[in-house]
């Protein structure tokens, strides 16, 4: 399922004093009680978005809130409490493959995404802008994961790829070379340097929101 910019359902904004529940489902969950979600369990976030047509949020976990940069804290607060439509704009990103594209935003941890291949929980990525991040993986594993993802066919109709942080995965330049070589055959725009992932500057992204990639300006715009 692919949503237009206007068809996706946004959760209501949190207000001061609102009660927040924490759910850790280990079995099928009835969709009726759910109004919003901050996504941590990646596969659960995929299914909430693609089954319920509801925006969820990829962001920091509660355990790491005290480590966030001021910009990342503001990003989380705005995502969860804004009464106006979100309009996020990330600039100065590194261009690995040129082009322009747009589509619903979807993504998360590269390793987890690869583990979902061949299962009922694998997301449908066709037409989406895919963002990826990871943590503490060797370069050869990153290379293998990327080729596994591409050869599985899951990336066949992806609109664009935007790379977040790959902390403790080695020097940046060799990693960018690996990404460029693995993703170039897709002939889609690829950007790197999005402030998302296992780091203090971990900005909150709305899964399912409309995303616009422009490599001429090195930018990602997300519209709510």
What confidence tens digit (pLDDT) does each residue in 74-101 have? 999 999 998 888 899 999 999 999 999 9
**What is the reported pLDDT for 167?**
95
**What is the reported pLDDT for 95?**
98
CATH number, domain 38-223: 3.50.30.60
Name the least confident of 17-31, 32-46, 69-83. 32-46
CA distance 38 to 14: 12
Give the containing element (helix H, strand E) for 200.
none
The answer to whether the beta carbons of residues 199 and 165 sit under 8 Å apart is yes
**What is the reported pLDDT for 40?**
47
Cα-based angle 114, 156, 139 (whole degrees, multiple of 5): 40
Domain range summary for the chain, segments of one domain joined by +: 38-223
**What is the reported pLDDT for 121?**
85
Give the pair of three-digit tokens for residue 98: 């040129």
The pair phi, psi for residue 176, each rounded to 5°, is -65, -35
**What is the reported pLDDT for 37?**
46
Per-residue pLDDT of 147-186, as tens digits, reads 999 999 999 999 999 999 999 999 999 999 999 999 999 9
**What is the reported pLDDT for 11?**
84
Give residue for tokens 């109709």. 157
**What is the reported pLDDT for 38?**
44
Tally the C-alpha atoms within 13 A of residue 73's C-alpha that lie toward its C-beta.
Answer: 7
List of residues 6+ apart from 114 with CB closer than 8 A:
145, 148, 149
Per-residue pLDDT of 108-129, as tens digits, reads 999 999 999 998 889 999 999 9
Please say if the pLDDT value at position 205 is more than 60: yes
How do 205-207 and 56-58 pair as beta strands?
Answer: antiparallel
Instruction: Compute the average pLDDT of residues 202-219.
Output: 97
């Amino acid at each position: 399922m692919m949503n237009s910019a206007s068809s996706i359902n946004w959760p209501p904004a949190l207000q001061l004093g609102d009660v927040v529940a924490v759910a850790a489902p280990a079995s099928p969950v009835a969709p009726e009680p759910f109004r919003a979600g901050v996504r941590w369990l990646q596969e659960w976030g995929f299914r909430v978005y693609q089954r319920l047509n509801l925006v969820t949020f990829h962001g920091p976990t509660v355990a790491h809130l005290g480590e966030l940069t001021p910009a990342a804290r503001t990003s989380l607060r705005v995502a969860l409490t804004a009464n106006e439509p979100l309009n996020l704009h990330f600039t100065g990103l590194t261009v690995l493959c040129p082009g322009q594209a747009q589509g619903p935003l979807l993504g998360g941890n590269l390793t987890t995404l690869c583990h979902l291949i061949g299962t009922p929980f694998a997301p449908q990525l066709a037409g989406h802008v895919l963002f990826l991040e990871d943590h503490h993986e060797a370069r050869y594993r990153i290379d293998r994961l990327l080729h596994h993802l591409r050869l599985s066919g899951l990336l066949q109709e992806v609109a664009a790829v935007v790379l977040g942080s790959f902390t403790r995965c080695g020097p940046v330049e060799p990693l960018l070379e690996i990404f460029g070589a693995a993703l170039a055959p897709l002939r889609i725009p690829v950007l790197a340097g999005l402030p998302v992932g296992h780091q203090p500057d971990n900005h909150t992204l709305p899964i399912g929101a409309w995303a616009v990639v422009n490599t001429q300006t090195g930018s990602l715009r997300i519209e709510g």
